[in-house]
Every structure is written in structure tokens, then in C-alpha cells.
Amino acid sequence: MLGTPPQLPQRARVVIVGGGIIGCSVAYHLAHMGWKDVVLLERDRLTSGTTWHAAGLMVTFGSTSQTSTEMRKYSCGLYGRLEAETGQSTGFRATGFIEVAGDRDRLEEYRRVSTFNRHLGIDVHEISPRQVKDLFPLARTDDLLAGFYVKEDGRADPVGVTMALAKGARQQGATLLEGIPVTGVTQKAGAVTGVTTPFGNIEAEYVVNCAGMWARQLAAGSGVSVPLQAAEHYYLITERIPALSNDWPVLEDPGSYGYFREEVGGLMIGLFEPVCAPWNLRAIPDDFSFGEIQPDWDRMGPYLEKAMSRVPISASTGVKKLFCGPESFTPDLRPIVGEAPELANYFVAAGLNSIGILTGGGLGRVMAHWIINGRPDVDVTGMNIDRLHAYQANPEYRRTRTVESLGMVYQCHYPTHTMQTARGAKLSPLHDRLAARGAYFKDVSGWEAPDWYAPPGIEPTVERLSWTRQNWFPYWQAEHTAAREAAILMDMSFMSKFVVEGRDAGRFLNWLSANHVDGAAGQITYTQWLDVAGKLAADLTVTKLDDERFWVVASDTAHRHVETWMKRHLGDHHAFVADVTSGFGQINVQGPRSRELLQAITSADLSNEAFAFRAAQYIDIGFARVLCIRITYLGELGYELYVPAEQTVHVYDRIVLAGERVGMKHAGLKALASLRLEKGYRDFGHDIDNTDSVLEAGLGFAVDLEKPGGFLGKQAVVAEKAAGPLRQRLLQILVTDPEPMMFHAEVVRRNGTPVGYLRAASYGHTLGGAVGLAMIDAPSGGPLDQAFLDAGTWEVDIAGTLVPARASLRPLYDPENKRIKM
Ligand SMILES: Cc1cc2nc3c(=O)[nH]c(=O)nc-3n(C[C@H](O)[C@H](O)[C@H](O)COP(=O)(O)OP(=O)(O)OC[C@H]3O[C@@H](n4cnc5c(N)ncnc54)[C@H](O)[C@@H]3O)c2cc1C
């Protein structure tokens, strides 16, 4: 206990739990943005959790997420000016930063990343091993291929930064109290009402859980799932090394598991070992303050040896300290941020995966904007708490996954990599059948989903991850071609599925949807849901089964977002939302011969006249009754079949048998990606996100401005239309050289000037080159139309090489939609 605690206020607009860097940054930004009625409660003293012992690396280079990169840049800027504002030093020093590449794959990765980072304003330069040596003379550089140097990056003092944020928050009117543990969060009717503490309760409109590694257990008490896990995290500090200067840049060598910088005259060697150790699975002790963990020398010995070999003098210098402290890691190495799906006005900002100091300034700004305005102003699809599921908070899941997630920080970030731990959590009813067919599975929101299939007699293994064509490239190509020329079967049981029923179900969904979804029964409609600002909230299909029953289908990652969006907007409507994801398998049969295939196993008339594009009806297949919807997400004639889970295997077997006669192949998610990107179909969270308007995303065709009753976000769409040319538009980009591969974040140039980057990309086996979708800035004053596209010379910067490209507003594959409607 820290003396007598001050009198608690009875109420506050916002209560923030936790006085680490994140909580203080949220308080600082809320107060700066005008919300002064903010109370931060810290259990012990500010910084006493994880923040106090962070290494304070401030590194803007390295991410292909725009949101993360912008947060890093913002933090550096903020920490640089906080001292002038508050009088409290942040210790921020732009000593520079070098990331070294010791093999060709990492060189490729960093070249790709540096192109993207430069586009976002980071002045990163590729330098030679000789130059690395000049900047960090104690490094061994004989085995290196290159370094990537940012002069403006450097280091900060995490305690100094946090204290400066706290002081700045107080100067702006926020109240920060130490020695007050929050014991619970009160709620009423599904929304937060305040917090409880041993010293009294505080009523609040909003609670922000910034409790670091305690966030999971605090949230669990309110029924909120925050699946983060603390893990051992190490750095070693050597005795004094006279030749070392504190002006040298921070050096990072992921290939040796280590980063290096000067610390009080010695060398700090920080580690991200490939196999890691979770800490305290059950609960983090309430009294763990300014704490350390007993280091495990045996486990860390080999990694330390490898890291030390990058700066050899460290091996012959005495060790002053091997420090081990806990840090929170998440299942996908992305932070857990946003409003909890389980409880309205309960915000979370935790699970920082060892970049909480680096991103903390930016994250505080994002959170404050989100809370004050009710919506974020950056793409949060990758970090939104609602991407995660309750089962991921299970101790067994956390124990298993955390072993891998910390180590992922320093792995080469191959774009086709899938997590290897905690697998087999969710199996489709077809799993064993698909495994027997040679499926190579990837983790899709916990589901085992086929990525591609090996031909008979070949093991479905990835021989070597790379940035080029891998061993499975020809299998993928064959699946893609079968979809365009014959037929494919895809198991998409992981899609999230909802039944919305009730007298007002149609009215309710039509108000949520930008498109008209309450027309004739037996029809599917592709639509977006928009927020009040007209930005995308979801991208999905709504099928009207009858006047009071609708079938809503969204992607796996949007599962909880879509469900929460519906529930939070229900109001007084007589409508009920049921999640039926687990109750139905989804089998996709697509391709020009899909009708012929299915017609052979059903008595329903599948002719174009009887069963047109967008029609939905129950059909018989064998002993099963199946909801069959004629729709496609890859640009061919095709059908989605929704089958009761217990009959999915039965229906699958019938399809496979009939498929033999039409050359049907099984296809995985790689084929789906290449097919849909050739056709320019969007994927929310990949190429479109919550910062895009429906018009910028090129989805104006799916907006019905005339329908009676209007829809949520309509005013914003009307206003945007009236405002003249769009600020930016999503385009399809195809490189004309058949060789290079694109994945994400490659920078697009028009007449030599960078104008955007690939949000998502794949290889277009039919178009004959890498293809993707890029959000492109409009020319100043003029429309971004096809004439503007045709008048320019387009290139894509792929790892520093400029590759000629084409840009198109219309789909490059089947722009007339002829194949879909045949
Ligand atoms: C060895 C090591 C090196 C690192 N190096 C870097 C680096 O170089 N760069 C970088 O960016 N990051 C680094 N990190 C990560 C960084 O330290 C964290 O990401 C960051 O400190 C997380 O901040 P936080 O505010 O979320 O958590 P914390 O600092 O843990 O703050 C949470 C606070 O909540 C309080 N709290 C918990 N429960 C309650 C409750 N019920 N009521 C009231 N208060 C409560 C705790 O006391 C604590 O003060 C490093 C971490 C480690 C372990």
C-alpha cells in the first residue's frame, strides 16, 4: 500500500485501468482531445508492470501494416516533443537503427518492406556490410549481405516516456491515481457502468482495460475474452566495453535472434528466441510489481551464444545482468484493441507483443479517437479485439501458441507462412475426407482449412518457404485452371453464418445494408454495411429465405464483428440473431461445369431459366436437404451449398462421385485468392477496410440509394457523391512480367511517382502474372477514371525492381460477367 489513497471521484466519463505506457498514453490523448473527465487507476505505481524494464527501441522500419507503421512514426514524433511540453525527459535519442540481412530471403523481405516503408515516409536506406561496420564497428559483418538503416530511429527511456505522458495528461486535466487496484467492472443491460475498487466504486460511461498482462484475468471477470499470455522475455547487459559508444545505432540481427545497443557503458543484447516460454498460465500475481523472473540460463544459453557471435567482444566480456521480464503476447502477434464484443463501452488496449513503447504513443491516439468519435480513423481490421475468439483464452491454447508467437517476431516473414502451433482446434465435418485427398491445411481463425492439394501420391508439405514459386505452385495452378475450365469443390465451412428471424428481420437488415436485401424471397444480395460516416463496417451476403427469415454469411475473420454489429443495432426491431456457423458445412461447387455436375445428383431444375444467378432454394442431394445459392466469389458459374453439419460428408461424397465425370478438382484457399483477385472481388480486412468509403472501394454498384427507408450511412454516401471526384479508388493492378510474385504492400507508381500500394495480391494463373488490388490516390483536381489510368505508365516496385503493370477499374477477367450468368 502506498500511504492513504486519495478520495476517489464518484464518477468519471472514462476510467482507464492500468498505468503503464498504454494507459498513460490513452489518458494523455483523451485529455488532449478535450475529454478531461478521465480517471486512470493504477494498482501500484505507474510503470510497475512491464513498462519499467523495456529496452526502449524506437524502430519505425519493419512493418508492412500501414496502421502499425503510422503508429510507430507518430510515437517517435510525440516522444521527441513531449519534453518541451511537459518538462519531463523521455530520453528519446535518434541514434539510428540498422536491421541486417544475413541470407537471401531476409534480404528480399527487407527490400520489400523498405519500399513500402519509404512510401509511408520512412527514410530507410539499404547499406553495405562495410557501412554496417562503419556505423557499428564492433559488429561482425563478414557474413552479412546488407543492412537497412534509418538515421532518425533510435531509443527512448520507457519510464521517462510514461511519466511524460502522465504529466501531460494531468496538465490537461486528467486524474491519475496510484495504489488503486480495480477489482471489477460493473455493467447493466450489456454496457459498462463503472468500476469497483477496495476504496470505493466509480461510475463511468467507458472503461478502458490497459492492464497489460493482467488484462486477460481482469476482462474474464466481466465475461470479456482477451486471449493474451505473458511470456519470458530477455535481455543481457554486459560489463563495460570501452570501445562501445552510446551514439551508435541500435543494431538488429533477427537471424541471430538478437538486437544490440549500448546500455550504461556495456552492451545490451535483447533476444527473441524461436521457441519461447509462457509465464504464469493460470493468473498473473496481483502483487507482481517492478518484478523480474528467475532467468533460465540453460534454455537461453544456445540463443545467447548465437546472438553474441554477432558482436564477438560480448562473449569475452563479463555479464552484468541477464534480465528476464514478462511481456504479453497474442495468438497472431497483433495487439488486442477496441471495444469488446461482449460488453458495450468496454475498451481494451493490451497485448503489445514487445512493441508497446514503440507503438504506445500512436495507439493512445487511436484509442482516444475511437472512444470519442465512436469509430477508429485507421484500419483496425488486423488488431480489432473482435477478430479473436473465446477458445483462444483457454490455458492449453495459450500455452501452446505462445511458444511460437514470441519467436515469430524474428522469423523471416514469409507471406505464405501459417502458424504451426495450437492446430486442429476447429475441424470441418469434411476434414478427414479432405486430408485423404492431399489437403495442405492452414490456420483460418482456428479452422483447419485446405490451402492447396497435393496430387495423389505426393505428400502435402511445403518443401521450403520462399518469396518465389514454391513446390506447390503447379498444384495451385491446376486448381485455378480447373475452376476456369471445368469445376472445383471448396470446403468453406469456416465462413460465419447467421439466421436473422422475426417480423422486422427484413426491415432491420435492409436498414443495415447499403444494398436492397429485402426484395423477393429466394434471392441472395451482396452488400456492405456502413458506419455513420459511410465507411465500411462489413462486406457480406444476405439471402432472403422468406419474409421473416434471412441467411447472413460473412468471412471467418468478420465473424464476431458482424454478429456484434447486428446485435448492437437491433434496437426495438422484432428480429433475433442466431449464430449457426457450427450447424452447417459450406461446400462450394464452382466452374463452368458445376451446373452439369450438380444436376446429376439433384432432382431440382438447375437450368438458367429455373435457377438464375442470385437465386437461392432448398434442393435435394441424396438423403439431404441443402440450401443451394447460385453465387460466386471467383467469377464463374457456381453454387454455394449449405448443408446441415451431420449431412455434410454425405453430400460431399455424392458431389465427389459426380465430379469425376466433369473433371472436378478439389481446390484450396490459394486458388480462391488467385481466382477472386483476377476478378477484382474484394476481401474485407485484406484489400478493403474500415477507413474506406463504399465508393472508394469501387462498390457503388452494390449501393441502393433509392430504396425506401434508406440505410445506415446513406447521408455520408450521398454527401461523398455530391462532393465531386473521389480522393482515392481501389484499382486492379496486373504486372505484365509473368515471373515476379506479389503478396501485399508492393508500391505502385504512375509515371514514376508512388501513388499507392497493393493491399492484397496473388498470382493470376489465367491472366498470366501477379495481380492484386491497390488503393490509388486520385490526381489533384481531376477524376481517377480509366482515361487517367490509360494516360499513365504504371509500374510496381517489387523488392526494389520496377516491373511494368496495367491498372484497371473494371475487372481484368470477364469484365462483362458473362461467365457468371451463363
Ligand atoms: C525485456 C523486455 C524488453 C522490451 N523492450 C521493448 C522495446 O525495446 N520496445 C518496445 O516498444 N517495447 C518493449 N517491450 C515491451 C513493452 O515493455 C510493453 O509492450 C509495454 O510496456 C506494455 O505496456 P502496457 O501499458 O500494456 O503494460 P504494463 O506496463 O504492464 O502496464 C499495465 C499496468 O496495469 C496495472 N494493472 C494491472 N491490473 C490492474 C488493476 N486491476 N487495477 C489497476 N491497475 C492494474 C499494472 O500494475 C501495470 O502498471 C519490452 C518488454 C520486455 C519484457
Q: Is the CB of 44 under 6 A from ligand 1?
A: yes
Q: What is the pLDDT of residue 5?
A: 59
Q: Please give, one letter per residue, the 3-state secondary structure of 469-517.
A: CCCCHHHHHHHHHHHHHCEEEEECCCCEEEEEECCCHHHHHHHHECCCC
CA pair distance 475, 481, nearest whole angstrom: 10
Protein residue with least CA distance to atom 33, ligand 1: 18
Q: Is 207 in the pocket of ligand 1 (CB under 6 A)?
A: no
Binding site membership of 214 for ligand 1 (Cβ less than 6 Å): yes
Burial class of residue 604 (count of CB atoms within 10 Å of its CB; 0-12, 13-18, 19+): middle
* C-alpha of residue 419 to centroid of ligand 1, in Å: 25
What is the CA angle 267-273-275, rounded to 5? 160
Taking the CA of residue 524 as centre, how many other CA atoms within 13 Å lie in the half-sphere pointing to its CB? 24
Q: Does the CB atom of residue 19 touch ligand 1 within 6 A?
A: yes
> Which residue type occupies 565?
W
213 CA: nearest ligand 1 atom: 30
Distances (CA, A) of 548 to 461, 663, 767: 47, 40, 43
Q: Is 673 in the pocket of ligand 1 (CB under 6 A)?
A: no
Measured CA to CA, the distance from residue 216 to residue 393 in angstroms comes to 8
- Of 26, 51, 57, best ligand 1 pocket probe by most atoms within 8 Å of the beta carbon: 51
Q: Apex CA 155: angle with CA 264 and CA 757, to 5°?
A: 155
CA-proximal residue: ligand 1, atom 49 (nearest): 49
Residue having the nearest C-alpha atom to atom 51 of ligand 1: 54
Residues of the chain with pLDDT under 70: 1-5
Burial 123-135 (b: 16+ CB within 10 A, else e): ebebbebebbbeb
* Residue-wise pLDDT tens digits, 78-111: 999 999 999 999 999 999 999 999 999 999 999 9
Three-state DSSP at 258 gives strand
Q: Phi/psi of residue 296, each to 5°?
A: -100, 85
Name beta bridge partners: 101.
Answer: 146
Ligand 1 atom closest to residue 183's alpha carbon, by position in its atom list: 41
Question: From CA 123, how far away is CA 115, in angstroms rounded?
Answer: 10
Of all atoms in ligand 1, which is nearest to the CA of residue 328?
A: 19
Q: Is the CB of 713 under 6 A from ligand 1?
A: no
Closest among 400, 284, 280 to 331, alpha carbons compared: 400
| CB of 57 sitting under 6 A from ligand 1 | yes
Which backbone phi and psi does 707 adopt, to 5 degrees? -65, 145
Q: What is the pLDDT of residue 780?
A: 84
Virtual torsion, Cα 58, 64, 66, 70, nearest 10 deg: 10
Going from the Cα of 623 to the center of ligand 1, the distance in angstroms, rounded, reads: 57
Which of ligand 1's atoms lies nearest the C-alpha of 259? 8
Residue type, 576: F
With residue 674 as reference, give the H or E element that holds it: helix 669-678
Cβ–Cβ under 8 Å, residues 99 and 147: yes
Cα 382 vs. chain centroid, distance in angstroms?
A: 2
CB of 181 sitting under 6 A from ligand 1: yes
| Average pLDDT of every residue of the chain | 97
Substitution candidate for ligand 1 out of 50, 303, 330 with most atoms within 8 A of CB:
50
Phi, psi angle pair for 701, to nearest 5°: -65, -20
Nearest CA-CA partner of 363 in 374, 378, 342, 343 = 378
- From atom 37 of ligand 1, which residue's Cα is the shortest distance away? 211
Query: In terms of C-beta distances under 8 Å and separation of at least 24 residues, what long-range contacts does 624-627 make, across chains too?
Result: 624/650, 624/651, 626/651, 627/543, 627/545, 627/551, 627/584
Place of cell 435492409: 510
534 lines ligand 1 (CB under 6 A): no
Question: Checking DSSP bridges between strand 664-666 and strand 487-491, what pairing results, if any?
Answer: parallel
Contact (CB, 8 A) for 344 and 190: yes
Ligand 1: centre distance to CA 51 (Å): 4
Residues 133-174: tens digit of each pLDDT: 999 999 999 999 999 999 999 999 999 999 999 999 999 999
Ligand 1 atom closest to Cα of residue 46: 49
CA of 230 to the centre of ligand 1 (A): 10
Q: Which amino acid is at 643?
A: V
Residue 45 CA, ligand 1 centroid: distance in Å? 12
In short, whether 149's Cβ falls inside 6 Å of ligand 1 is: no
Q: What are phi and psi of 245, to 5 degrees?
A: -115, 145
From CA 249, how far away is CA 260, in angstroms rounded? 9
Cell 502506498 belongs to 2
Output the CA 407–ligand 1 centroid distance in Å. 19
- DSSP-derived letter for residue 746 is P
Q: Whose CA is nearest to atom 52 of ligand 1?
A: 54
**Spacing, Cα 50 to ligand 1 middle (Å):** 3
Distances in Å between the Cα of 413 and the Cα atoms of 108, 274, 347, 747, 748 are: 10, 13, 30, 18, 21
Report CA(349)–ligand 1 centroid distance (Å). 11
Q: Output the CA torsion 327→330→335→337 (10° steps).
A: -110
Distance 310 CA to ligand 1 centre (A): 29
| Vertex 681: Cα angle to 678 and 683 (nearest 5) | 120
pLDDT of residue 781: 74
Q: Is the distance from the beta carbon of residue 72 to the nearest atom of ligand 1 less than 6 Å?
A: no
**CA of 359, closest atom in ligand 1:** 11
In DSSP notation, 685-725 reads TTTB-TTSBTTTTT-GGG--TTSTT--TTHHHHHHHHHT-S
Using a 6 Å cutoff on CB, does residue 56 contact ligand 1? yes
Q: Is the CB of 357 under 6 A from ligand 1?
A: yes
The minimum-distance atom of ligand 1 relative to the CA of 155 is 8
At residue 250, φ and ψ (nearest 5 deg) are -70, 135
Instruction: Identify the CA nearest to 678 among candidates 806, 771, 810.
Output: 771
Q: At what angle do helices 356-373 and 158-171 cross, to 10 degrees?
A: 20
Residue 565 alpha carbon to ligand 1 centre in Å = 31
Looking at ligand 1, which residue's alpha carbon is closest to its atom 41? 182
Distance CA 484, CA 481 (A): 5
Residue 378 to residue 118: CA distance in whole angstroms: 19
Distance (Å, rounded) from C-alpha 73 to C-alpha 518? 46
What is the model's pLDDT at position 1? 45
Residue nearest to atom 2 of ligand 1 (CA): 54
Q: How far apart, in whole angstroms, are the C-alpha atoms of residue 219 and residue 184?
A: 9
Dihedral (C-alpha) 243, 246, 250, 256: value to the nearest 10 degrees? 30
160 CB near ligand 1 (under 6 Å): no
Q: In angstroms, what is the C-alpha Rg of the chain?
A: 27
Q: Is 20 in the pocket of ligand 1 (CB under 6 A)?
A: yes
Longest dimension (CA), the chain: 85
Q: How far is the CA of 475 from the centre of ligand 1 (A)?
A: 46
The CA 355 to ligand 1 mean position distance, Å, reads 10
Q: How far apart are CA 651 and CA 735, in angstroms?
A: 40
- The per-residue pLDDT for range 700-738, each reduced to its tens digit, is 999 999 999 999 999 999 999 999 999 999 999 999 999
Cα of 756 vs centre of ligand 1, distance in Å, is: 35
pTM of the full predicted structure? 0.97
pLDDT at 563: 98
> Cβ(337)–Cβ(353) under 8 Å?
no
Q: What is the DSSP letter of 353?
A: T
